[in-house]
Copies of this chain bind each other. A is one copy, B any other.
């Protein structure tokens, strides 16, 4: 996996995990990869993965069974989706509109882009 330099790696791993859950690759109530395994497959230090899991645990997206590993919370998927949707609609979108304005790009131009992307 490739990491951007702009954000902390552990937060990018948090994102990665959330995406796995949203896409149901990691299913509710089921075990997720161990800290070590994920560290190996992502080629990062185990501490960094641990920190990401900590983060997810605090947001009650995953939980720990001692000696067994980490598991996805029962309603994690919907929780994440709700939170992300709010954050997207209320923060990212308005910010995008402001950028659109500043750069003098019309919403039509964006739609065109969108349609082109759908085809490919």
**Which of B5, B103, B110 contacts A81, CB < 8 Å?**
B103
Whether the Cβ atoms of B117 and A105 lie closer than 8 Å is: no
- A 13-48 binary contact with B (CB < 8 Å = 1; else 0): 000000100110000000000000000000001000
Residues of the B chain whose Cβ atoms lie less than 8 Å from the Cβ of A5: 66
**What is the interface of chain A, defined by CB distance below 8 A to chain B?**
5, 9, 19, 22-23, 45, 58, 66-67, 81, 84-85, 88-89, 92-94, 96-97, 99, 102-105, 107, 110-111, 113-114, 117
Residues of the B chain whose Cβ atoms lie less than 8 Å from the Cβ of A99: 84, 88, 92
Q: How far is the CA of A66 from the CA of B4 in the complex (A)?
A: 11
Count copies of this chain in the complex. Answer: 4
Shortest CB distance A23–B (Å): 8
* Other A-B pairs, 13, CB within 8 Å; known A5-B66, A81-B104, A111-B111: A9-B66, A22-B102, A22-B103, A23-B102, A45-B67, A84-B102, A85-B103, A85-B105, A88-B99, A88-B103, A88-B105, A93-B110, A97-B117
